[in-house]
């Protein structure tokens, strides 16, 4: 369920009230004087996700500025049933997805910190051949967010959003490579990494080879990642995305730091293929959902 809260000038309040009444998915509308703006009224209404997008377009058509209203998501605790009859409350609004994508398209400090932590863990996993550390790095990494934001930008035609999200993804994965390379070089310089260390002898050397499983895993992970992004379950499904990005990035960095250029090239190819397929499958998933009715019976 979504909730709309808007402060509307008195000369537009009647028209705004009629606008809300035009949508069957807008319910429990209340209005009262705005204590902070004497010449305005505050409207509060419950909004079904299925009608959020046309409602926002209607508000824009009225010339209402963005700072005059806010649409928030509300977790419904009770009653435990479908709300709003045929429209339901289980779907999602396109405006909500775009909002999430916009927020996740920037290289925020927390994003860079988490991906750097993932880089250290993954690099040590590659060096020691520990699959447990690799899984831990995948769980920490936030790379799912800019990947999905890139797909949202492509589908919605917001190319600046798509390019910004892709640049954020590239910055994060590049940071993984650099961190892993610097860490492995420092370990080798201090003698903690044997001089005869060869990354190709690691049990994880499959990270530098591309085959049919690489393609299928990346395609499946892109679908899972986009569905998780829409339902805000990204923390649980992020590992499915990162299995195709973080290990290959860390392997590439360790190969560079360890002086194994041939394996570095193989890992780079794996990384490029995986990122490309993730975006392709995530974009395709979103396109299908925009054309087919969602589970609440209304188009996304």
Condensed to tens digits (0 to 9), the pLDDT of residues 180-220 reads 999 999 998 888 888 778 888 778 888 788 888 889 989 99
| Number of domains present in the structure of the chain | 2
Contacts of 126 (CB under 8 A, 6+ apart): 134, 180, 199, 202, 204, 207, 247, 250, 251, 254
Res. 85 pLDDT band, cuts 50 70 90: very low
> Could you tell me if 31 and 13 are in contact, meaning their C-beta atoms sit under 8 angstroms apart?
yes
Mean pLDDT score of the chain, rounded to an integer?
85
Last residue of a domain, one of 41, 62, 91: 91
* Spatial contact of 219 and 284, defined as CB atoms under 8 Å apart: no
**Same domain for 142 and 201?**
yes
Position 83 scores a pLDDT of 46
Same domain, 185 and 110: yes
Do residues 126 and 189 share a domain? yes
Map residue 299 onto helix, strand or coil. strand
Query: Could you tell me if residue 299 is inside a domain?
Result: no
Query: Residue 219: phi, psi to the nearest 5?
Result: -65, -45
Collect all residues with Cβ–Cβ distance below 8 Å to 278 and sequence separation of at least 6.
Answer: 147, 218, 221, 222, 225, 241, 244, 245
Give this prediction's pTM.
Answer: 0.77
Buried b or exposed e, range 264-299, using 16+ CB within 10 angstroms: bebbbbbbebbbebbbebbbbbbeebeeeebebebe
């Amino acid at each position: 369920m979504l909730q709309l809260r808007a402060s509307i000038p008195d000369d537009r309040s009647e028209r705004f009230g009629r606008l809300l009444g035009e949508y069957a998915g807008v319910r429990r509308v209340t209005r009262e004087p705005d204590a902070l703006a004497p010449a305005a009224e505050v409207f509060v209404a419950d909004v079904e996700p299925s009608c959020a997008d046309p409602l926002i377009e209607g508000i824009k058509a009225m010339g209402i500025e963005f700072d005059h209203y806010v649409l928030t998501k509300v977790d419904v605790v009770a009653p435990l049933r479908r709300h709003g009859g045929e429209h339901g409350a289980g779907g999602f609004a396109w405006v909500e997805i775009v909002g999430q994508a916009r927020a996740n398209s920037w290289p925020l400090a927390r994003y860079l910190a988490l991906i750097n932590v993932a880089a250290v863990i993954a690099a040590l996993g590659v060096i020691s051949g520990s699959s447990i550390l690799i899984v831990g790095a995948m769980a920490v990494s936030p790379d799912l967010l800019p990947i999905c934001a890139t797909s949202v930008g492509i589908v919605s035609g917001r190319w600046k959003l798509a390019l910004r999200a892709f640049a954020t993804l590239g910055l994060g994965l590049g940071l993984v490579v650099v961190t892993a390379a610097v860490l492995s070089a420092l370990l080798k310089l201090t003698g903690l990494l044997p001089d005869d260390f060869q990354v190709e002898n690691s049990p994880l050397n499959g990270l530098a080879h591309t085959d049919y499983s690489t393609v299928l895993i990346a395609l499946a992970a892109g679908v899972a990642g986009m569905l998780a992004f829409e339902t805000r379950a990204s923390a649980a499904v992020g590992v499915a995305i990162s299995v195709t990005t973080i290990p290959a990035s860390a392997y590439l960095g360790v190969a560079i730091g360890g002086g194994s250029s041939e394996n570095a090239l193989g890992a780079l190819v794996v990384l490029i293929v995986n990122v490309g397929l993730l975006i392709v499958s995530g974009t395709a998933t979103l396109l299908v959902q925009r054309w087919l009715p969602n589970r609440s019976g209304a188009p996304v």
